[in-house]
Structure 1
Amino acid sequence: MSAPPAPAHPLIEIDVDESLARALLAEQHPDLADRPLHSRMHGWDNITWRLGDDLAVRLPVREISAPLVVNEQRWLPVVGGRVPVPTPVPLRTGAPSPLYPWPWSVVPWLTGTVVAATDVAGRTAWAAQLADALAALHAEAPADAPHNPYRGVALRDRAQVVATRLESAPDLPHRDALLAAWHDGLTAPEWASPAVWVHGDPHPGNLLSDGGRLTALLDFGDLGHGDPASDLATAWLTFDAAGRAAFVARTTQRRGWDDATWRRARAWAAGLVPVFLAHPVEYPLMADVGRHAAEQLATH
């Protein structure tokens, strides 16, 4: 086989086109190789091809993302069942081969619209549902749970990197408000309870909804354990004031996190804004998430 296709943009090291995806299926899962491949989607870390009506092929697009797929393959079967909304628990796995250098997965195709592409006000209808999903996930993690150095950790561990982003990112909206939220979180008491499971990335690009319901929680590659505040940042990333109030109220009812946890969560949201805004051309929906979060943090 010839070399993999050239990247579609700088964030992609291998652009998995239809011919490569089909060749990998033929090599390792030949009973699936004749299914139609369609509706390709790509994110920062993976390309996903819909496979027939009910499956999808999920493949890393850069070397740094390959361990995230392994993380999902190892741990999502363990934690996915505790979450009361569908999750893409891998059904089959693919191994590195001469065709492609990294592990990959076949997962169920989960229906719904990517929340980042939906009206923000309409998300309030399922805010309590997301709160229930995260509350179910945020149970005490075992000693061998994976460690994510970028999520679930103490804010002080990210202080230098995040402060640099907030201070130097070009055209950052509401910079002063974001810095204030970040510094307030740094002064809040740190997480002192047993480490809980942390999704790592429950932002609107990793949620699906349909008909006023949350239909899926996606992308568990950043799964780890620690402080749930990094997950709770979705209150500002995903919702407006009404939706956030419903999310916070339901989470408080289910888990009773203290004020310090919510201060840290707000700080996490502020620190993620420049990340979402970093590639506005390649990922316009994520840039929309960043702008929305900055506005929420500045005005509420």
Structure 2
Amino acid sequence: MHPGELPITEDLVARLVADQFPAWAGRPVTRVASSGTVNALFRLGDDLVARLPRVDWSLQDVETEATWLPRLAPLLPVAIPAHVAAGAPGEGYPWPWGVYRWLPGTVPVEGRLADPLGLAADLAAFVRAMRAVDLPDAPAAYRGGGHSLLDETARRALAGLGDLLDPGTLDAARAVWDAALAVPDHPGPPVWLHADLMPGNLLVDAGGRLTAVIDFGTLGVGDPSCDLIVAWNLLTPAGRDVFRAALDVDDATWTRGRGRALAQSLGSLVYYHRTNPAFAANARHTISEVLASWQPSRST
């Protein structure tokens, strides 16, 4: 998916585990099918999972999670990953990596939610809990800056999507993004964020309710609109209403969140349309939901 991405195989992971964690040597190593873009996942037996960065620009995620996950876990309403071991470079693999507890559940799929309203309420409860976190020395969230910082990404993507989106869709997307930019950046204090609430970072049970949130590599503090993107990349229109009402989101924050969801999905579609079909499909879904939910006569 990326220039300079390392090939990571089951054999490599087995050798790393055997060398650095002999107690787990001999456990079956099985690649986890995932639409994730910067980490490769491998189950180690039934209760553990190894997570290895694919690219050098995601290396900070390992340290971030090892530092903050234990502090966040007791403050959140659903399970989050438990970091149990820090792996080191070896066997030809050049970077730090991690071992975590395996969390049960399935990834929700846009358009196929078993309990869309219940899931919306669960996600709102998670976002509320994140915003209520009051831990010192918080890092800045990777995507937590002003939404105006995404303008170059959005414009470049719009210019490069002529072969992937029809002219009417592109015109509508430009109008939605212009409306988002008309709203000032977040004027208040920053809040704690997960900062990457994509469907692939959520786990649900058989009934469709949220059981876990994973991949906290981009966590930190920033604009609260950053954690609203899930309203468009996953939730149904009715679910969006439940989500927004439960969080009591004002018009400006909602507009910024919709703009973020659009800008990120435009960029993702350009970048991943050949290399990550599932991620690209979600980007198309998000663009469609954003445009369908926007009323040109209003900013909300």
TM-score of the pair, normalised by structure 2:
0.88
The answer on whether the counterparts of 1:141 and 1:195 sit within 8 Å (CA) in structure 2 is: no
- For residues 15-62 of structure 1, what are the alpha-carbon distances to aligned partners after superposition, in whole Å with 9 as ceiling and x for unaligned? 221111011111211111221112423521001011111110111011
Residue 79 of structure 2: which of 67, 73, 86 is its match?
86
Aligned-partner Cα distance in 1 for 2:148–2:6 = 35
Are 1:298 and 2:294 an aligned pair?
A: no
Shift of 1:121: 6.6
| Aligned residues between the structures | 287
Aligned-partner Cα distance in 2 for 1:109–1:117 = 23
Shift of 1:297: 1.3
The answer on whether the counterparts of 2:117 and 2:239 sit within 8 Å (CA) in structure 1 is: yes
Shift of 1:90: 0.9
Q: Write out aligned runs for 1:1-300 (5 A).
A: 10=2, 13-42=5-34, 43-97=36-90, 99-116=92-109, 119-120=112-113, 122-139=115-132, 144-149=137-142, 151-170=143-162, 171-172=164-165, 174-210=169-205, 211-252=207-248, 257-277=249-269, 278-300=271-293
| Runs (5+) with no aligned partner, structure 2 | 294-300
Identity %: 39
Aligned-partner Cα distance in 2 for 1:193–1:272 = 23
The answer on whether the counterparts of 2:201 and 2:213 sit within 8 Å (CA) in structure 1 is: yes
The answer on whether the counterparts of 1:121 and 1:240 sit within 8 Å (CA) in structure 2 is: no
- For residues 201-251 of structure 1, what are the alpha-carbon distances to aligned partners after superposition, in whole Å with 9 as ceiling and x for unaligned? 101111111222112111111112110111111101111211111111222
Shift of 1:12: 6.6
The match for 2:296 is none
Aligned-partner Cα distance in 1 for 2:165–2:82 = 36
Q: In 2 relative to 1, CA 160–280 (structure 1 residues): closer, same or farther, beyond 3 Å?
A: closer
Partner of 1:181, secondary structure, is helix
- For residues 60-93 of structure 1, what are the alpha-carbon distances to aligned partners after superposition, in whole Å with 9 as ceiling and x for unaligned? 0111111122211122222233221111121111
Q: In 2 relative to 1, CA 11–143 (structure 1 residues): closer, same or farther, beyond 3 Å?
A: same
Shift of 1:140: 5.6
Structure 1 letter corresponding to 2:105: G
Aligned-partner Cα distance in 1 for 2:211–2:254 = 25
Q: In 2 relative to 1, CA 270–160 (structure 1 residues): closer, same or farther, beyond 3 Å?
A: same
TM-score of the pair, normalised by structure 1:
0.88
Partner of 1:114, secondary structure, is coil
Aligned-partner Cα distance in 2 for 1:119–1:11 = 33
Q: In 2 relative to 1, CA 194–244 (structure 1 residues): closer, same or farther, beyond 3 Å?
A: same
Aligned-partner Cα distance in 1 for 2:274–2:200 = 16
| Runs (5+) with no aligned partner, structure 1 | 1-8
C-alpha RMSD of the superposition: 2.1
Aligned-partner Cα distance in 2 for 1:67–1:230 = 20
Partner of 2:245, secondary structure, is helix
